[in-house]
Amino acid sequence: MHYDTPIGEHRGKWKTVELVARNYWWLGVTKEVERYIDGCDACQKYKNRSKALVGKLMPNMIPEKPWSHISVDFITKLPLAQGYNAILVVCDRFSKMAYFIATMEKTSAEELTKLFQNHVWKLRRLPENIISDRGVQFAAGIMRELNNLLGI
């Protein structure tokens, strides 16, 4: 009667609380009005959004051969063991084969690339695509350093 009618005009929380409190009062009236307004279907449809809408999801490419598409991730916050406190996980997305390489959490891009070269590249091949939960900058940095290290 005081909010989502032609007379109420969806005026917002404080104006609605004022209109309701003119005629009614109960313990928790403000929270009840706020809960009602948060659930208003019309307001949810037409309110201005302060954040940009998320774009369409881009599906990952389906690999056609082993070690052409890999994922690189870290397992961190491990207790210190033999001087290491993190594990670099390199997984082939085609065969699901994985290498687990002991490392430090604060490893530089250069050291990470040397680890990759010594444990993965020498046994496999140069990947076409790297996916990481650390972002595209991280994956691009690994590829850039690896190409520099190999003289490509």
pLDDT tens-digit map of 106-133: 888 788 888 988 999 889 988 888 888 8
Q: What DSSP string runs through 61-95?
A: PPPSSTTSEEEEEEE-SPPPBTTB-EEEEEEETTT
**Residue 47 pLDDT exceeds 90:** no
Strands 86-92 and 129-132: unpaired
* Same domain? 85 vs 143: yes
* Same domain? 48 vs 73: no
Over residues 138-149, mean pLDDT? 85
Domain that holds residue 91: 69-150
* Same domain? 30 vs 74: no
* Same domain? 88 vs 137: yes
Residue 60 is assigned to a structural domain of this protein: no
Residue 61 is assigned to a structural domain of this protein: no
Instruction: Supply the pTM of this predicted model.
Output: 0.61
* Same domain? 77 vs 36: no
